[in-house]
């Protein structure tokens, strides 16, 4: 096994071990006991949850993509325009 492959394997193992350690430390084992000052609000309905975590990101993505396309179309920078690869002879 080459030295580069060995270094990559060690790096991958270290990242995996660090990720597992963080996941174990953030486990909800202590979530059953209430902390002082812990005052949760009312829960979200299904419609609110879908709107917040599904619809809002999709709308935000579409707005950003639309603005990018409009601004690229109006740009003078040739790198933002599609390049015609078919040359007529």
Taking only the tens place, the pLDDT of each residue in 33-57 is 777 777 788 999 999 999 999 999 9
Average pLDDT, the chain: 83
Distance in Å from the first CA to the final CA of the chain:
53
Burial of 55 per CB tally in 10 Å (0-12, 13-18, 19+): exposed
C-alpha distance from residue 5 to each of 1, 14, 16, 19 (Å): 7, 14, 16, 21
pLDDT of residue 50: 96
pLDDT of residue 80: 63
Residues of the chain with pLDDT under 70: 1, 27-32, 80-89
pLDDT of residue 39: 79
pLDDT of residue 24: 81
Please give the model's pTM, rounded to 2 decimal places. 0.48
Taking a C-beta distance cutoff of 8 angstroms, is the pair 81, 72 a contact?
Answer: yes
């Amino acid at each position: 096994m080459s030295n580069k492959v060995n270094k990559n394997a060690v790096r991958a193992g270290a990242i995996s071990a660090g990720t597992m350690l963080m996941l174990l430390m953030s486990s909800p084992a202590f979530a059953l006991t209430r902390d002082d000052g812990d005052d949760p609000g009312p829960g979200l309905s299904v419609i609110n949850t879908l709107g917040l975590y599904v619809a809002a990101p999709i709308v935000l993505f579409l707005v950003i993509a639309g603005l990018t396309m409009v601004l690229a179309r109006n740009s003078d920078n040739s790198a933002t325009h599609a390049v015609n690869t078919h040359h007529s002879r």
